[in-house]
Protein backbone atom coordinates (compact mmCIF):
# COMPACT_ATOMS: atom_id res chain seq x y z
CA UNK A 1 0.00 0.00 0.00
CA UNK A 2 1.34 3.48 -0.93
CA UNK A 3 2.19 5.80 1.94
CA UNK A 4 2.21 8.95 -0.27
CA UNK A 5 -0.20 11.55 1.05
CA UNK A 6 -1.20 15.05 -0.01
CA UNK A 7 0.96 17.74 1.65
CA UNK A 8 -0.78 20.78 0.15
CA UNK A 9 -3.82 22.71 1.41
CA UNK A 10 -6.67 20.47 2.47
CA UNK A 11 -9.46 22.84 1.45
CA UNK A 12 -8.26 24.03 -1.96
CA UNK A 13 -7.18 22.69 -5.31
CA UNK A 14 -3.82 23.70 -6.80
CA UNK A 15 -3.80 24.72 -10.46
CA UNK A 16 -0.93 22.93 -12.13
CA UNK A 17 1.89 24.67 -14.02
CA UNK A 18 0.85 23.01 -17.33
CA UNK A 19 -2.58 24.62 -17.27
CA UNK A 20 -4.60 26.23 -18.57
CA UNK A 21 -3.96 24.67 -21.96
CA UNK A 22 -5.69 26.28 -24.98
CA UNK A 23 -6.58 24.42 -28.15
CA UNK A 24 -7.75 26.17 -31.34
CA UNK A 25 -9.29 23.52 -33.60
CA UNK A 26 -12.82 22.93 -34.84
CA UNK A 27 -13.77 24.37 -31.44
CA UNK A 28 -11.88 26.65 -29.05
CA UNK A 29 -11.07 24.56 -25.99
CA UNK A 30 -9.31 25.08 -22.69
CA UNK A 31 -8.09 22.47 -20.21
CA UNK A 32 -7.59 23.17 -16.50
CA UNK A 33 -5.68 20.63 -14.39
CA UNK A 34 -5.76 20.72 -10.60
CA UNK A 35 -4.20 18.60 -7.90
CA UNK A 36 -5.39 18.17 -4.34
CA UNK A 37 -6.84 15.68 -1.95
CA UNK A 38 -8.56 12.94 -3.87
CA UNK A 39 -11.81 13.47 -1.99
CA UNK A 40 -11.80 17.21 -2.75
CA UNK A 41 -11.08 16.54 -6.45
CA UNK A 42 -14.07 14.21 -6.59
CA UNK A 43 -16.33 16.73 -4.81
CA UNK A 44 -15.24 19.50 -7.19
CA UNK A 45 -16.21 17.75 -10.41
CA UNK A 46 -18.50 19.71 -12.72
CA UNK A 47 -21.27 18.22 -14.83
CA UNK A 48 -21.06 18.46 -18.59
CA UNK A 49 -22.91 21.60 -19.69
CA UNK A 50 -22.04 23.67 -16.61
CA UNK A 51 -21.35 27.28 -17.54
CA UNK A 52 -18.23 28.83 -16.06
CA UNK A 53 -17.99 31.91 -13.88
CA UNK A 54 -15.19 34.31 -13.00
CA UNK A 55 -12.20 33.84 -15.29
CA UNK A 56 -14.10 30.98 -16.97
CA UNK A 57 -17.13 33.10 -17.88
CA UNK A 58 -17.87 32.49 -21.57
CA UNK A 59 -16.94 28.83 -21.27
CA UNK A 60 -18.92 25.63 -20.75
CA UNK A 61 -17.79 22.26 -19.41
CA UNK A 62 -17.43 19.61 -22.09
CA UNK A 63 -15.88 16.90 -19.92
CA UNK A 64 -14.60 16.50 -16.40
CA UNK A 65 -12.43 13.68 -15.01
CA UNK A 66 -11.00 12.81 -11.61
CA UNK A 67 -7.99 10.51 -11.34
CA UNK A 68 -6.19 9.12 -8.33
CA UNK A 69 -2.43 9.28 -8.61
CA UNK A 70 -1.00 7.72 -5.47
CA UNK A 71 -2.28 7.58 -1.96
CA UNK A 72 -4.49 10.59 -1.20
CA UNK A 73 -3.40 12.62 -4.23
CA UNK A 74 -6.05 13.32 -6.85
CA UNK A 75 -6.01 15.04 -10.25
CA UNK A 76 -9.02 16.97 -11.49
CA UNK A 77 -9.13 17.74 -15.21
CA UNK A 78 -11.81 20.08 -16.59
CA UNK A 79 -12.17 20.42 -20.34
CA UNK A 80 -13.93 23.58 -21.44
CA UNK A 81 -15.38 24.82 -24.73
CA UNK A 82 -15.98 28.46 -25.55
CA UNK A 83 -19.73 29.04 -25.33
CA UNK A 84 -22.57 31.10 -23.93
CA UNK A 85 -23.52 34.73 -24.31
CA UNK A 86 -20.29 35.91 -22.64
CA UNK A 87 -17.98 34.01 -24.97
CA UNK A 88 -15.53 36.12 -26.97
CA UNK A 89 -13.40 33.42 -28.59
CA UNK A 90 -13.33 32.95 -32.38
CA UNK A 91 -16.29 31.03 -33.78
CA UNK A 92 -15.93 28.00 -36.07
CA UNK A 93 -15.69 28.60 -39.78
CA UNK A 94 -18.97 27.94 -41.58
CA UNK A 95 -19.56 25.40 -44.32
CA UNK A 96 -21.29 25.74 -47.70
CA UNK A 97 -22.85 23.58 -50.39
CA UNK A 98 -23.79 24.38 -53.99
CA UNK A 99 -25.48 21.55 -55.84
CA UNK A 100 -27.78 21.10 -58.84
CA UNK A 101 -31.49 21.35 -58.17
CA UNK A 102 -33.98 19.82 -60.56
CA UNK A 103 -36.76 22.25 -61.48
CA UNK A 104 -39.84 21.23 -63.42
CA UNK A 105 -41.75 24.36 -64.55
CA UNK A 106 -45.06 24.09 -66.37
CA UNK A 107 -44.51 23.44 -70.04
CA UNK A 108 -45.89 26.79 -71.20
CA UNK A 109 -42.90 28.49 -69.52
CA UNK A 110 -40.50 26.83 -71.93
CA UNK A 111 -38.83 29.25 -74.41
CA UNK A 112 -40.47 27.21 -77.19
CA UNK A 113 -43.74 28.95 -76.24
CA UNK A 114 -42.26 32.44 -75.91
CA UNK A 115 -44.89 35.01 -76.86
CA UNK A 116 -48.01 33.00 -76.09
CA UNK A 117 -50.42 35.26 -74.22
CA UNK A 118 -52.17 34.37 -70.95
CA UNK A 119 -55.60 34.35 -72.61
CA UNK A 120 -54.47 31.69 -75.05
CA UNK A 121 -52.93 29.60 -72.29
CA UNK A 122 -56.22 29.67 -70.38
CA UNK A 123 -58.14 28.80 -73.52
CA UNK A 124 -55.76 25.92 -74.19
CA UNK A 125 -56.32 24.44 -70.76
CA UNK A 126 -60.09 24.89 -71.11
CA UNK A 127 -59.91 23.04 -74.41
CA UNK A 128 -57.75 20.30 -72.87
CA UNK A 129 -60.21 19.58 -70.09
CA UNK A 130 -63.13 19.61 -72.51
CA UNK A 131 -61.33 17.18 -74.84
CA UNK A 132 -60.42 14.86 -71.96
CA UNK A 133 -64.01 14.82 -70.76
CA UNK A 134 -65.33 14.06 -74.23
CA UNK A 135 -63.16 10.97 -74.47
CA UNK A 136 -62.31 11.93 -78.03
CA UNK A 137 -58.70 10.73 -77.86
CA UNK A 138 -55.25 12.36 -77.82
CA UNK A 139 -55.19 14.01 -81.26
CA UNK A 140 -56.19 17.44 -79.98
CA UNK A 141 -55.31 19.33 -83.16
CA UNK A 142 -57.66 17.23 -85.27
CA UNK A 143 -60.46 17.58 -82.72
CA UNK A 144 -60.17 21.34 -82.43
CA UNK A 145 -59.89 22.05 -86.11
CA UNK A 146 -62.99 20.06 -86.98
CA UNK A 147 -65.89 22.32 -87.85
CA UNK A 148 -68.19 20.55 -85.43
CA UNK A 149 -65.96 21.29 -82.42
CA UNK A 150 -64.63 24.75 -83.17
CA UNK A 151 -67.87 26.29 -81.90
CA UNK A 152 -67.34 24.59 -78.54
CA UNK A 153 -63.89 26.18 -78.18
CA UNK A 154 -64.64 29.68 -79.45
CA UNK A 155 -62.28 31.18 -76.86
CA UNK A 156 -59.47 29.41 -78.64
CA UNK A 157 -59.71 31.95 -81.47
CA UNK A 158 -59.38 34.89 -79.07
CA UNK A 159 -56.17 36.07 -80.69
CA UNK A 160 -54.82 34.69 -83.95
CA UNK A 161 -52.14 37.35 -84.39
CA UNK A 162 -48.42 36.63 -84.06
CA UNK A 163 -48.91 32.89 -84.27
CA UNK A 164 -51.01 32.70 -81.11
CA UNK A 165 -53.36 30.05 -82.47
CA UNK A 166 -50.47 27.95 -83.76
CA UNK A 167 -48.72 28.10 -80.38
CA UNK A 168 -51.96 27.13 -78.67
CA UNK A 169 -52.37 24.08 -80.90
CA UNK A 170 -48.78 23.03 -80.17
CA UNK A 171 -49.29 23.49 -76.44
CA UNK A 172 -52.54 21.55 -76.50
CA UNK A 173 -50.92 18.66 -78.38
CA UNK A 174 -48.14 18.39 -75.80
CA UNK A 175 -50.51 18.67 -72.85
CA UNK A 176 -52.76 16.00 -74.34
CA UNK A 177 -49.62 13.85 -74.68
CA UNK A 178 -48.97 14.16 -70.94
CA UNK A 179 -46.14 16.70 -71.23
CA UNK A 180 -47.20 19.01 -68.42
CA UNK A 181 -43.75 20.15 -67.28
CA UNK A 182 -40.17 20.12 -68.49
CA UNK A 183 -36.74 19.78 -66.91
CA UNK A 184 -34.29 22.57 -66.26
CA UNK A 185 -31.38 22.64 -63.82
CA UNK A 186 -31.26 25.21 -61.07
CA UNK A 187 -29.12 25.34 -57.94
CA UNK A 188 -29.54 24.84 -54.24
CA UNK A 189 -27.12 26.92 -52.18
CA UNK A 190 -26.74 26.36 -48.44
CA UNK A 191 -24.23 27.85 -46.05
CA UNK A 192 -23.84 27.84 -42.30
CA UNK A 193 -22.60 30.26 -39.68
CA UNK A 194 -22.17 30.00 -35.93
CA UNK A 195 -23.06 32.22 -32.99
CA UNK A 196 -22.90 32.07 -29.21
CA UNK A 197 -26.46 33.36 -28.91
CA UNK A 198 -29.63 32.25 -30.69
CA UNK A 199 -29.79 33.93 -34.14
CA UNK A 200 -32.79 35.52 -35.80
CA UNK A 201 -34.53 33.23 -38.27
CA UNK A 202 -36.08 33.88 -41.67
CA UNK A 203 -39.09 31.94 -42.92
CA UNK A 204 -37.96 32.58 -46.49
CA UNK A 205 -40.13 33.23 -49.51
CA UNK A 206 -38.06 36.29 -50.47
CA UNK A 207 -36.23 37.01 -53.72
CA UNK A 208 -32.74 38.23 -52.93
CA UNK A 209 -29.01 37.87 -53.33
CA UNK A 210 -27.33 35.27 -51.11
CA UNK A 211 -24.24 36.05 -49.12
CA UNK A 212 -22.06 33.41 -47.52
CA UNK A 213 -18.61 32.00 -48.31
CA UNK A 214 -18.92 31.87 -52.13
CA UNK A 215 -21.39 34.69 -52.73
CA UNK A 216 -19.07 36.27 -55.30
CA UNK A 217 -18.62 33.01 -57.22
CA UNK A 218 -22.25 31.99 -57.67
CA UNK A 219 -23.40 31.24 -61.26
CA UNK A 220 -24.50 34.16 -63.43
CA UNK A 221 -28.00 34.40 -64.83
CA UNK A 222 -29.61 32.86 -61.75
CA UNK A 223 -32.41 34.39 -59.71
CA UNK A 224 -32.38 33.31 -56.06
CA UNK A 225 -35.25 32.62 -53.69
CA UNK A 226 -34.52 32.34 -49.99
CA UNK A 227 -36.02 29.32 -48.26
CA UNK A 228 -36.65 28.90 -44.53
CA UNK A 229 -33.60 28.85 -42.26
CA UNK A 230 -32.48 25.85 -40.24
CA UNK A 231 -31.02 26.08 -36.74
CA UNK A 232 -29.41 23.35 -34.66
CA UNK A 233 -27.26 23.13 -31.52
CA UNK A 234 -23.51 23.21 -32.10
CA UNK A 235 -22.31 23.38 -28.50
CA UNK A 236 -23.00 21.90 -25.10
CA UNK A 237 -26.21 22.96 -23.33
CA UNK A 238 -27.20 25.64 -25.84
CA UNK A 239 -23.79 27.30 -25.70
CA UNK A 240 -23.45 27.65 -29.49
CA UNK A 241 -25.84 27.64 -32.45
CA UNK A 242 -25.44 26.67 -36.08
CA UNK A 243 -27.58 28.61 -38.55
CA UNK A 244 -28.01 27.30 -42.09
CA UNK A 245 -29.42 29.56 -44.80
CA UNK A 246 -30.97 27.84 -47.81
CA UNK A 247 -31.46 29.33 -51.26
CA UNK A 248 -32.82 27.91 -54.49
CA UNK A 249 -31.91 29.41 -57.84
CA UNK A 250 -33.70 29.33 -61.16
CA UNK A 251 -33.24 31.22 -64.44
CA UNK A 252 -33.59 35.00 -64.34
CA UNK A 253 -37.25 35.91 -64.03
CA UNK A 254 -38.23 32.46 -62.77
CA UNK A 255 -39.58 33.68 -59.41
CA UNK A 256 -42.63 35.95 -59.50
CA UNK A 257 -41.75 39.23 -57.78
CA UNK A 258 -45.44 39.81 -56.99
CA UNK A 259 -45.52 36.61 -54.94
CA UNK A 260 -42.02 36.73 -53.45
CA UNK A 261 -41.49 40.39 -52.70
pLDDT tens digits, one per residue of 191-235: 999 999 999 999 999 999 999 999 999 999 999 999 999 999 999
What is the per-residue pLDDT across 165-176, written as a single tens digit (0 to 9) for each? Answer: 888 889 988 998
Nearest by Cα to 7 from 43, 37, 51, 38: 37
Dihedral sign of CA atoms 215, 219, 224, 226 in order:
negative
Q: What's the average model confidence in pLDDT over 156-172?
A: 73
What is the per-residue pLDDT across 7-31, written as a single tens digit (0 to 9) for each? Answer: 666 678 999 999 899 999 889 999 9
Q: In the predicted model, is pLDDT for residue 155 greater than 60? A: no
pTM, two decimal places = 0.77
Binned at pLDDT 50, 70 and 90, residue 4 comes out as low
Helices (H), the chain: 38-43, 118-134, 140-145, 147-150, 164-176
Q: What is the pLDDT of residue 164?
A: 82
Amino acid sequence: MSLVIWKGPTNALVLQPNSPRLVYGDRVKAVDIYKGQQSLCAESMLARGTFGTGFRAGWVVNQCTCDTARGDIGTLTIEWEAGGSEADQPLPTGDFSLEPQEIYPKIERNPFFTGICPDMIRATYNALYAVNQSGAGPNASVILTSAANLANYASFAVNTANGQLELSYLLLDKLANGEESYYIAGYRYSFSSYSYTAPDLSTGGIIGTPDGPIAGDLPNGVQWLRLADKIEPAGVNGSMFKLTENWIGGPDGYWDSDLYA
